[in-house]
Amino acid sequence: MKLLYFAWLKTKTGVAEEDLTPPPEVTTVAELLTWLRGRGPGHAEALADLTALKVAVNQEYAHPDDPVRPGDEIALFPPVTGG
């Protein structure tokens, strides 16, 4: 599974991109975020407030209950501020 981090998510986690293999019981976006928090203090801080977070699965906006699968591209980012 490819994880991408943008804006302050990238700053706080200290990574822009990482290839991870979560345990098989991680099957949804919400479960993935909980598991990611345990990866270290940077991830824990970046993912502390889930209301400030957007998730895209394979470049589509996703909800907490949406499934995640091996091989997916998962992006984590704050609310967008373009334009």
Partner 1 sequence: MIRVQEEDFDLGAELAKLTAGNMKVGGLAVFVGLVRDMAGDQAIGAMTLEHYPGMTEKMLARIEAEAKERWPLEASLIIHRVGRLEPGDQIVLVAAASAHRQAAFDACQFLIDWLKTKAPFWKLEESGEGAQWVDARDSDTAATKRWATPKKGTAE
44, 54, 66, 72: which one contacts partner 1 (CB under 8 A)? 54
**What's the DSSP call for residue 41?**
H
23, 70, 71, 79: which one contacts partner 1 (CB under 8 A)? 79
Beta-carbon contacts of 14 under 8 Å, excluding residues fewer than 6 positions away, are 42
The verdict on 8 binding partner 1 (CB under 8 A) reads: yes
The verdict on 6 binding partner 1 (CB under 8 A) reads: yes
Nearer to partner 1, 35 or 77 (CB): 77
The verdict on 17 binding partner 1 (CB under 8 A) reads: no
Residue 67 CA: distances (Å) to CA of 8, 10, 71, 76, 78: 25, 23, 12, 15, 20
